[in-house]
Structure 1
Amino acid sequence: MKAIKLSVYQESANYKVPVSHDFRESYPLPPYSTIIGMVHYLCNFKKYHPMKVSIQGSYGSTLSDLYTEYEFKNGMKFEPSRHQINVQGLGISRGVAQVQLMTDVNMVLHIIPDDQTEVKYIFNCLKQPREYPNIGRREDLAVFKDVKVVDIIKQHLEEDLRSGKYLDKQKSARKNWAAYIPIELLENNDDIFHTDTHDTSLAAGTKYNLNKVYSLVKTRKNKPAIRRWERHEVVYTEFTFLEDTVITADSDGDAVFTV
């Protein structure tokens, strides 16, 4: 099995938590839907191409920033005392809100298309993107430090493998490195230990229910279809594989946790 491996850096980014509004909270790393959307946009795919994704990385800190927020209701007439913008008789309110930004983000992403004949095409689109890539908001530019094709294989550990380290001992370890690990992998494997990054939250990491892909579903006649998301429960955590464990890794020595 082959995968496209991306090493990415972002100075700052917001990976919006869907239920956050007044304060636009961010996930620590982008969810699967964000990465899949980025790949589909850069590849100019017009429909969903099934793929598996693995996301791991680190961030330096978080900060709060201000942004301009626009609010409107369908069909609401413009009222000078209530709205700041008049668009053809419809009223729009403009205000200031807060957004959480993750800073100094470093990531390793693995994209594994179900159709392995697409590997070369996706690699070329990411190696020479048709426009400057972004992950998160439109303004959250992403630097692709390295793009390569790697093999995904099963490997037997001869010693413990800690988060942020490679199977290749010659490579330096990464700091505060964590991954989205599918919860079923942790529940069914006693050879993985995991702890929270930065020692700031739960001892066993932080659980998220992340979006991956959606389907359009008609719920009411004469009404537009709505998005119904396929969600995956994961734990955002640092990890340790114990000696003698068989793990999934790439040919560079990075562990892979696909959804």
Structure 2
Amino acid sequence: MSNKLKAIKFKCYQNMPNYRRPASFDFKETFKLPPYSSVIGMIHKVCNCKNGEYMPMKISIQGISESINTDLYTRYFFTPDKCEGDREYFAILNKNEKRQTGLIRGTGISELLIDVNLLIHIVPENEKLFERIFNGLEKPYVYPALGRHEDILQIKNIRKIELEETNTVNINYDAYIPLEYFREEDNITGTVYLLNKVFDTSSDIRNWKEKVKVKYIKRRVEKIRFTKNVYKDNEENTGVFLA
């Protein structure tokens, strides 16, 4: 008999979010799915966690978006004192940028995903946190957002379910799959990312304590067999890849 695992499943929708990739500034590129740290941070906010409080959890992130677009945004940055009078520095500023006292205002470009539907599974490492996280998602302390502050998250459905352990699953959504589930000989096409996950909440500055190397896989028709067991959501008939 396969093992069962109690989990929180929720489906949610976003209109045009940006899950900014690190090191993208003037042109804000986006991940195709929100990284683990963004989802975990959102859960901490809706549960009204205080500074220094961290709720460890396993998480699986999957979803589908209809398309991708770009949009202009206003950006601000300060003029370094050492650049005062530096003609070469100011020559790179385009005609749309307006200089104010010590401040430069200009434009940048953001990638936006269109009509994103997410499927997220949460397994708290401490079973005592299960009800707290479930209640926080059902009746959030603040409005939930993923990506930018304005990227409001519409939570459509929250359920308590049991995941079934298995080694062969469908992938009906685009998904992050940790590399630990793959064998070296597996020839499965995807994009590899090193995603932030666990962060230190003891100060106002977020310090990363754990990262996860994953492969971003597009949904597919055929089933995939894994050497290391994964879990299956029988309601969705899709794999669940906890990290």
Instruction: Find out whether 1:14 has 2:25 as its counterpart.
Output: no
1:78–1:149 CA distance, 2 compared to 1 (3 A): farther
User: Deviations along 1:87-122, whole A, 9 cap, x unmatched?
Assistant: xxxx22211100000111111001111111111111
SS of equivalent residue, structure 1 residue 110: strand
Would the aligned equivalents of 2:170 and 2:239 in 1 still touch at CA under 8 Å? Answer: no
Structure-1-length-normalised TM-score: 0.75
Would the aligned equivalents of 2:79 and 2:104 in 1 still touch at CA under 8 Å? Answer: no
Instruction: Find out whether 1:62 has 2:58 as its counterpart.
Output: no
Equivalent position of 1:163 in the other structure:
171
1:225–1:180 CA distance, 2 compared to 1 (3 A): closer
Would the aligned equivalents of 1:5 and 1:150 in 2 still touch at CA under 8 Å? Answer: yes
182, 185, 208: which one aligns with 1:186: 182
Would the aligned equivalents of 1:78 and 1:92 in 2 still touch at CA under 8 Å? Answer: no
* Superposition RMSD in Å: 3.1
Mapped partners of 1:226, 1:244: distance in 2:
35
SS of equivalent residue, structure 1 residue 40: helix
1:14–1:226 CA distance, 2 compared to 1 (3 A): closer
Equivalent position of 1:96 in the other structure:
107
The answer to which structure, 1 or 2, has the higher relative contact order (CA under 8 A, 6+ apart) is 2
Listed as ranges, the gaps of 5+ residues in structure 1 are 165-176, 195-203, 218-223
CA drift at 1:26: 0.1
Equivalent position of 1:134 in the other structure:
145
Mapped partners of 1:244, 1:17: distance in 2:
31
Mapped partners of 2:230, 2:192: distance in 1:
22
Mapped partners of 1:245, 1:182: distance in 2:
11
Instruction: Find out whether 1:248 has 2:228 as its counterpart.
Output: no
Instruction: Find out whether 1:235 has 2:218 as its counterpart.
Output: no
What is the letter of the counterpart of residue 164 of structure 2?
I
Structure-2-length-normalised TM-score: 0.80
Equivalent position of 1:209 in the other structure:
194
Instruction: Find out whether 1:144 has 2:129 as its counterpart.
Output: no
125, 138, 151: which one aligns with 2:136: 125
Equivalent position of 1:53 in the other structure:
59
Mapped partners of 2:120, 2:82: distance in 1:
43
Equivalent position of 1:24 in the other structure:
28
User: Deviations along 1:188-241, whole A, 9 cap, x unmatched?
Assistant: 685xx74xxxxxxxxx11111111123489xxxxxx987244211101003532
1:75–1:7 CA distance, 2 compared to 1 (3 A): farther
Instruction: Tell me the percent identity.
Output: 36
Listed as ranges, the gaps of 5+ residues in structure 2 are 91-97
Would the aligned equivalents of 2:181 and 2:227 in 1 still touch at CA under 8 Å? Answer: no
1:256–1:74 CA distance, 2 compared to 1 (3 A): farther
1:245–1:113 CA distance, 2 compared to 1 (3 A): closer
CA drift at 1:162: 3.0
1:226–1:100 CA distance, 2 compared to 1 (3 A): closer
Equivalent position of 2:6 in the other structure:
2
What is the letter of the counterpart of residue 241 of structure 1?
I
SS of equivalent residue, structure 2 residue 72: strand
CA drift at 1:62: 0.5
Aligned length: 222
What is the letter of the counterpart of residue 179 of structure 2?
I
